[in-house]
Amino acid sequence: MASFKITGDRRLKGEIVPQGAKNEALQIICAVLLTKEPVTIHNIPNIRDVNQLINLLGDLGVRRTRLSETSIRFEADDINLDYLESDSFRQKAAALRGSVMLLGPMLARFRKGRIPRPGGDKIGRRRLDTHFLGFEKLGAEFSYDEEDGGFYRVDAANLKGTYMLLDEASVTGTANVLMAAVMAEGTTTIYNAACEPYLQQLCKMLNRMGAKISGIASNMLIVEGVNELKGTEHTMLPDMIEIGSFIGLAAMTQSEITIKDCQIPELGIIPDVFKRLGIQMEFRGDDIFIPAQERYRIENYLDGSTLSVADAPWPGFTPDLLSIVLVTATQAQGTVLIHQKMFESRLFFVDKLIEMGAQIILCDPHRATVIGHNRETQLRGIRMTSPDIRAGVALLIAAMSAKGVSIIDNIEQIDRGYQNIDTRLNAIGAEIVRL
């Protein structure tokens, strides 16, 4: 188990380029299974979850040609379906939550699939019902056998288009069902679909491959099934979660940072939420400039009541940034209620922030009230463990703003979602040592 040793209380200065979007990558890379023709993907983040998925595709028989540090050409013309029965597949797919999105493309092209119960972050229940209910609506039949190593087996010999109302606007569920529907017979209507920019990117890519998807960017997708798809070329968006993390980091450490190439129109309300915390920023073309701020003040509502920041399906605020908002608020002037609606265990890292000196009241598994220090009391360095990707980076931001030295254990969780984060931050003035 690796660790970070962070010397805090350092101001950063410089430019930083966000990596390609992790959540988009997991969908887009699975989609290469939909065609025999080459698919070239650019701006791929070099992170653990994505690399594990790429290696898993290689084990399935997908040929991969690295064109540059961030670009790969995939060719899935000779897939070894027997590999799905192997212990190697069970172990590797179970360790990666994104592996569940292999099912949609496999059902579309091969009319069958097999996947173990996936792993991932320990952030509460993350049910797969939306995926399987959608597949069933299309005519697939699935079974789960605990004695067979905990595998889901899916038979999709007769995929037919249909109308479905998803039980939740799940991003991965929408993506998975969408990829199965593009080659189903007839027309499929997916209502209550997720419409995140990552999902829009997948729709646009599939249409370039020959799919017929309309309603992109809305919560109703209409898919006319086609017989086959062709190859394409696709460039992924910058990671909006990393962009938000850098905004919070700049404020907490009183640093002057320019975040490059952000594709600002795709960020939705993310900049506005950080502005409501009092964080100044300037849009310079497609870059976001964060000036060094001595203090920042949380806004109240117009009637004077306490600001509440809650997650919601897009175009609402992404749940992946609530931990960043929470830690950033600890040094603001004012009070904010953080309401994590989707995952009941994602706020449990706040005990470490409290140990560092933050004033946080954990109201219940979903809500925490943060009373900002207004920089009158500095956080102090401690030893802690990263429970998941986003909490890990929130703790890293806290440690970088704290007085003294902090140790963060289990940084493999951070590496799952953030590419060479220590090297990139050290380049603009941080002092992070990987142990």
The residue among 370, 400, 215, 242 whose CA lies nearest residue 318 is 242
3-class state of residue 257 by DSSP = strand
**Is position 320 annotated in a ligand binding site?**
yes
Q: Which residue reads 């117009």 in tokens? A: 302
**Is position 125 annotated in a ligand binding site?**
no
Torsion angle in degrees (nearest 10) through CA of 40, 46, 49, 53: 30
- Sign of CA pseudo-dihedral 348, 349, 351, 354: negative
The residue among 415, 391, 387, 290 whose CA lies nearest residue 338 is 391
> Catalytic residue among 49, 121, 239, 415, which?
121
**Is position 342 annotated in a ligand binding site?**
yes
Cis check for the bond before 197: say yes or no (omega within 30 of 0).
Answer: no
User: For this structure, is 121 an active site residue?
Assistant: yes
Q: Burial, 329: exposed, middle or buried (Cβ in 10 Å; 0-12, 13-18, 19+)?
A: buried
The Cα–Cα gap between 413 and 389 comes to 5
Give the H or E element holding residue 153.
strand 151-155
Measure CA 99 to chain center: 14
Q: Specify the DSSP class assigned to residue 32.
A: G
Q: Which residues are catalytic?
A: 121
From the annotation, which residues make up the binding site? 22-23, 97, 320, 342
As annotated, the binding site for UDP-N-acetyl-alpha-D-glucosamine includes 97, 320, 342
Instruction: Tell me the binding residues for phosphoenolpyruvate.
Output: 22-23
